[in-house]
Amino acid sequence: MEEIRAIALAYYNNFSNNEKHDVYATFKQIDTNGDGTITIDEYEEFFGIHVRLSFQELDTNGDGKIDFEEFITLYYFGNFGMLLCDGKGCKVKFLKGVYFTCLECFHLNKTTTFDLCTSCYRYRNFVHEHNTFLDSHLLLRRKAAHVQDGSNSSQDYGQADVSGDDEEVVMKVFESVNAGVNLGQAVVGASSACSIL
């Protein structure tokens, strides 16, 4: 959750003043007693019952309330379409880290994807009509490699790559990712301010 919280705060810090105002207005709408925090009762009244686990995860300092900085993470979840695990009986609600996406659904469906936490994918705790999955990092690298090759049409990117058996498809993916390594090196080399690597 800390990584997601850091991402949410990074986005928020780069919002325009109007966007920041909208986030704060939403916070104030949930904070019905106006004390500057959201209690579990206010949270459940706004979002419904059966949300105690997510409330506890958002309450990073453990004081039983969500302050504005903690709320920014909730805003990120709600407004940036955070995904839920589609595994059967999975205890994970939001996919907060690396997850697996059905490659065929990703390419063919414009509105939804079929996504799994690492545990559901690893132990095949799902029922789905397709068998080719990629983790979110590899999927992004694959997309970057495809764009670098000059085939940035989503139709070209989708159909051709998911034909064949699973092993063949995965090999195509790894080949396209390897082709995209130069793109990653160029991005890292171009940014002298980034100290991640």
Domain that holds residue 24: 2-79
Angle among Cα 126, 131, 134 to the nearest 5 degrees reads 90
CATH number assigned to the domain comprising residue 53? 1.10.238.10
Starting at the edge strand found earlier in the chain, the sheet holding 115-116 runs 115-116, 100-102, 133-135
Average pLDDT for residues 162-177, to the nearest whole number? 52
pLDDT score of 162: 47
Average pLDDT for residues 52-75, to the nearest whole number? 86
Check whether residue 133 and residue 163 sit in a common domain: yes
Higher pLDDT, 1 or 73: 73
Check whether residue 17 and residue 72 sit in a common domain: yes
Angle among Cα 190, 194, 197 to the nearest 5 degrees reads 95
124: its two tokens: 């095949």
Condensed to tens digits (0 to 9), the pLDDT of residues 65-119 reads: 999 999 998 888 777 656 778 888 777 667 777 889 998 888 887 677 899 989 9
118: its two tokens: 């690492």
What domain count does the chain have? Answer: 2
Q: Please say if the pLDDT value at position 195 is more than 50.
A: no
Condensed to tens digits (0 to 9), the pLDDT of residues 110-165 reads: 677 899 989 999 999 999 998 899 998 888 888 777 666 665 444 444 443 444 55
Check whether residue 104 and residue 184 sit in a common domain: yes
Entry pTM: 0.57
Q: How many CA atoms lie within 13 A of 20 on its CB side?
A: 11
Phi/psi zone of residue 149: left (φ > 0), alpha (ψ -120 to 50 degrees), beta? alpha
Check whether residue 71 and residue 19 sit in a common domain: yes
Check whether residue 123 and residue 184 sit in a common domain: yes
pLDDT score of 172: 57
Cα–Cα distances in angstroms (integers) from residue 192 to residues 13, 53, 180, 189, 195, in the given order: 21, 40, 20, 7, 8
pLDDT score of 37: 96
pLDDT score of 149: 66
* Residue 196 lies inside a defined structural domain of this protein: no
CA terminus-to-terminus distance, the chain? 22
pLDDT score of 76: 83
* Residue 183 lies inside a defined structural domain of this protein: yes
* Residue 184 lies inside a defined structural domain of this protein: yes
Residue at a domain's end among 47, 79, 111: 79
